[in-house]
Structure 1
Amino acid sequence: MDTAVYRHNGLVCADHTLRVPLDHARPDGPEITLFAREVTAAGREGEDLPRLLWLQGGPGHRAERPDAPGAWLREALRDHRVVLMDQRGTGRSTPADRRTLAALPGAAATAAHLAHFRADSIVRDAELLRRHLAADGEQDRPWTVLGQSFGGFCALTYLSLAPEGLEKVMITGGLPSLTAHADDVYRAAYARVADHNERYFDRYPADQRLADAVAGHLGSEDVRLPTGERLTVRRFQTLGAAFGGVSSFDSLHYLLETAFVPGARGPELSDTFLRRVEAAVSYAQHPLYAVLHEAIYAQGGRPTAWSAHRIREEFPVFDASRGGPLRFTGEMVYPWHFEEDPALEPLREAAHLLAGRTDWPPLYDADRLAANRVPVAAAVYHDDMYVDREHSLRTAAAVRGLRPWITNAHAHDGVRVDPAVYGRLLAMVRGEI
């Protein structure tokens, strides 16, 4: 394992890289690189502090960097060395995108490769990293895990596959159903997204006219983003994914207010608007999010079969072609994304193969979770747009010793916005409250 150490803004950072198997069932097979950054408060780097592993949301997003504004990090550094691991395929770990995957011999090989990028592989990577970071004689010392959103999904997989590596677990907005099919997940999700649309337009009633005007313009004109591809109405609708976070809920309002400028032939969409839309709807920086978003729910013999696309038909409120006020969609990925987004188009055939796959291994062990002995606390956000509250509460009841904290005081990004979220969860797993 290679290590580089440097100081930054009151922090001591140690960058680690190690080689891990692509397929943990074949430890002698092909390998990929795993990157992790260990962060310690300056002046405490010589202390024997316990480690905390941050598992970020996603799938397909790199770990936060030390200069990120996440409220939890400075709090965690009071008591821990914090490990920021770039989950496989992201950041400085061996990337998985249209350029690197082009080296594989066809769509079937690409799909088979990407099947190793789910929570089970991430957890096994983490276990190898934990043992590599431990000092001599401390290989079995467990660490604490903080899982946000998809990171919470990974934490439950960790409790299922390798609980011996865990001392404590904290989960924020990330208790998935242990058994629900993707259809169940998206059926519940569309109802929540519709509710968040109502909240948004109640706050900004004048934005309904603007949103409808943008959709009308996109329906009648060939509008191109700065990257050259056409901006369609359905892609514009995906901006509603921002409704789930308190730090991003208002972002659409400030985007829409820049929408139109007077042009030579009448109102036109401004370059400012189009550039910001492009940044929001492109998957260029996190293609794995799109490719694997439904696969994170897949277990057993039933394919996901583009669940979000199929279930959307049950919710005509999101059909812009039917008339009526425009409604934005949420955290959904559709097959047409792989036709309209240049970062995804080369992965289209592989994505279709993954959507049809029927041999996904299980991600959770219900018996082991029912016998769990690791202290676990989970923040369940009552109005979470991304993770269904009722699914979370059923899972909380199925994990022995898991203590849920049900609150409507925070949105999905609560741990990043308010350090008190981390503080409360830590006190819960310590048995202080």
Structure 2
Amino acid sequence: MSKLCEYCLPGLLVEDHSIPVPLDWRGTTPAELAGVSADDMTLLARESANESPDPAFAGKSLSLFYRIVRSPEKASEHFPLIVYLQGGPGGAEPRPLDPHSDGWMAEAIKHFRIVLPDQRGCGRSSRVEGSVINRIGAEAKAEGADPARRQADYLKRFLADSIIRDFEYLRLSEFGGERWVTLGQSYGGFLTMANLSTFPEGVAAAFTCGGIPHIPADAADVYAHTFPRMVKKTQGFYERYPEDERRVALVADRLAAGDVTLPDGSPFSIRRLQLIGAGLGMKPAPERLHSLFDTAFVVGDGSADAALAAAGGDVFKVELSDGFRHAVMEMTASPSNPLYWTLQEFIYADGRMAHPIRWAAAQEAAKRPEFAPSVRPLMLFAEAMFPWMFDEDPALIPFRPAMDLLMEDTEFGHLYDQ
């Protein structure tokens, strides 16, 4: 039985479930594993079934955790299914508190049984973090294999081609093959397109709220287009809150000394500060940043001029508040979802690629001097990852050896039927 427990939240009836799924889906199909016929397999489904699994992963399984959420008043009615494809990568499903804690759920429970599966590696689905990656490397070393290569190949099993097979197996094995509606948010839109390319027969309708990938996808092309947008978004923030331009500049000048750390002990560098722009594409990000810098300084009235005056004009004596450093750490650290940054650029990897990704965002940033840490006004990075993050963020450090290999790889799971 897959059911773990059943309980009530305010306005919601919730069931928790977990089922095993193969770590490596190559060599089989969701239909075969579920014991159902699949005469009309798509080319992509058949292609993976004809491949061989990695010998290191053959026969190994992961846990796929999912919730079923219903209206208590209509629990006895057989409503159709809607599965929520969460954003990410590396994002667990929302944990509802009541029907209104997620904007769409209050309406959805009037018409659907809601299925909330944690994507593999996230939440309660065989979560991947530094300790897991270290263990994978240690096992490889004990077997005389290359630890970093084993870790890299393991991480490849947590991309969209595996995720959609987990969900198709879930549909076939636990819901009797009933077609469902999909709702994809952000990265969930990528999963939507991959799912429609591989298992269209299982989809009654597909909705997305952002995150439709360009097909064929290319990480370098994505960042070539998004870096100019980062400039505009940063400039818009400064135009809206001119004092924050001065505050950001003073904080950056203070960090240039290289002696400031975040509460977790990691370096508080200017480039780390630039990561706070990650949410500038969404509302109310400018207001959140404005609030962040409102209490950046220990001494003075909160303005950059007062903080510098209190330091006797010596920028390296400006004191940054503990609350500010803690807030920046929470905004830029990765302990709760390390796969978000680890897999960030590989969501654009599709099948056999003509060239490796090679840190696409970092390559684009290097072409744009306006993003240099010494330039003022300081430009902020939006959703972009960089090699140095895997040297400085404690949650990401264990992933660095694997990342160096993945960035040179050109063979990934095939996602889209073009």
Q: Please, what TM-score do these two structures have when normalized by structure 2?
A: 0.84
1:218 corresponds to = 255
- Contact (CA 8 Å) 1:150, 1:174: kept in 2 or not? yes
Give the counterpart of 1:33 among 40, 60, 63.
Answer: 63
How far residue 110 of structure 1 moved from its aligned partner, in angstroms, is 0.8
User: Hey, what does 1:393 align to over in structure 2?
Assistant: none
Name 2:358's counterpart in structure 1.
305
The 3-state SS of whatever aligns with 2:128 is coil
Q: Deviations over 1:104-162 (max 9, x none)?
A: 1221111101101111111000011112331xxxx232100000010000000000000
Show the counterpart of 2:108.
76
Alignment deviations for residues 364-398 of structure 1 (CA, whole Å, 9 cap, x no partner): 102xxxxxxxxxxxxxxxxxxxxxxxxxxxxxxxx
Instruction: Please state how far the C-alpha of 1:360 moved relative to its aligned partner.
Output: 1.6
Query: Residue deviations 1:38-64, cap 9 Å, x none?
Result: 100111111100110001110001000
Instruction: Using the TM superposition, give the Cα deviation of residue 192 of structure 1 relative to its aligned residue in structure 2, in angstroms.
Output: 1.4
User: d(CA) in 1 for partners of 2:177 and 2:398?
Assistant: 43
> In the alignment, is residue 363 of structure 1 matched against residue 400 of structure 2?
no
CA shift for structure 1 position 95: 0.7
Q: Which residue, 266, 290, 296 being the options, matches 1:253? A: 290
- Once residues 215 and 328 of structure 1 are traced to their aligned partners in structure 2, the CA distance between those partners, rounded to angstroms, is 11
* Partner SS, residue 268 of structure 1: coil
Q: Is the 8 A contact 1:242 1:251 kept in 2?
A: no
**Distance in structure 1 (CA, Å) of the matches to 2:119 and 2:293:** 34
Q: Is structure 2 residue 311 aligned with structure 1 residue 274?
A: no
SS in 1 for 2:242: coil
Structure 2 match to 1:109: 150
Equivalent position of 1:170 in the other structure: 207
Q: Partners in 2 of 1:203 and 1:249 — Cα distance?
A: 8
Residue 10 of structure 1 corresponds to: 11
Aligned counterpart, 2:343: 292
> Is 26-35 or 75-84 further displaced after alignment?
26-35
Give 1:26 deviation, angstroms.
Answer: 4.2
Q: CA deviation at 1:181?
A: 1.6
Residue type at the aligned position of 1:298: A
> How far does residue 314 in structure 1 lie from its aligned partner after superposition?
2.3
**Counterpart of 1:275 in structure 2: which amino acid?**
H
User: Does 87-96 or 293-302 show the bigger shift?
Assistant: 293-302
Tell me the amino acid that sits aligned with residue 273 of structure 1.
F
* TM-score, normalisation: structure 1: 0.81
Query: Matched residues in 1 for 2:379 and 2:368: separation?
Result: 11
- 1:5–1:13 CA contact under 8 A, matched in 2: yes
Q: 1:221 offset after TM fit, Å?
A: 4.4
Q: How many residues align?
A: 361
Deviations 1:153-173 (A, max 9, x none): 000000000001100000111
Letter in 1 for 2:179: P
Cα deviation, 1:246-302, whole Å, max 9, x if unaligned, reads: 143421110011111129964311000011111110011111111111111012232
Q: Secondary structure at the match of 1:255?
A: helix
1:82-101 equivalence runs, <5 A:
82-101=114-133
Aligned twin of 2:236: 199
What is the one-letter code of the residue matched to 1:327?
M
Instruction: Name which one, 1 or 2, has greater alpha-carbon Rg.
Output: 2
Give the Cα–Cα distance (whole angstroms) in 1 for the partners of residues 80 and 367 of structure 2. Answer: 49
Query: Aligned AA for 1:320?
Result: P
Indicate the residue corresponding to 2:95 in structure 1.
Answer: 65
CA distance in 1, matches of 2:274, 2:72: 45
Distance 1:22 1:13 in 2: 27
**2:395 alignment partner AA:** A
Further displaced range: 147-156 or 291-300: 291-300
After superposing on structure 2, the runs of 4+ consecutive aligned residues of structure 1 that deviate more than 4 Å are 263-266
Cα contact 1:229–1:341 (8 A) shared by 2: yes
% same residue: 39
- Unpaired runs of 5+ residues, structure 1, are 367-433
- The residue type paired with residue 270 of structure 1 is S
Letter aligned with residue 20 of structure 1: V
Structure 2 distance, partners of 1:284, 1:26, is: 33
Secondary structure of 2:231's partner? Answer: helix
Structure 2: gaps spanning 5 or more residues: 29-57, 141-146, 300-306, 312-316
Q: Which amino acid aligns with 1:32?
A: L
Per-residue CA deviations over 1:333-383 (Å, capped at 9, x if unaligned) read 0010000101111110001111111112321102xxxxxxxxxxxxxxxxx
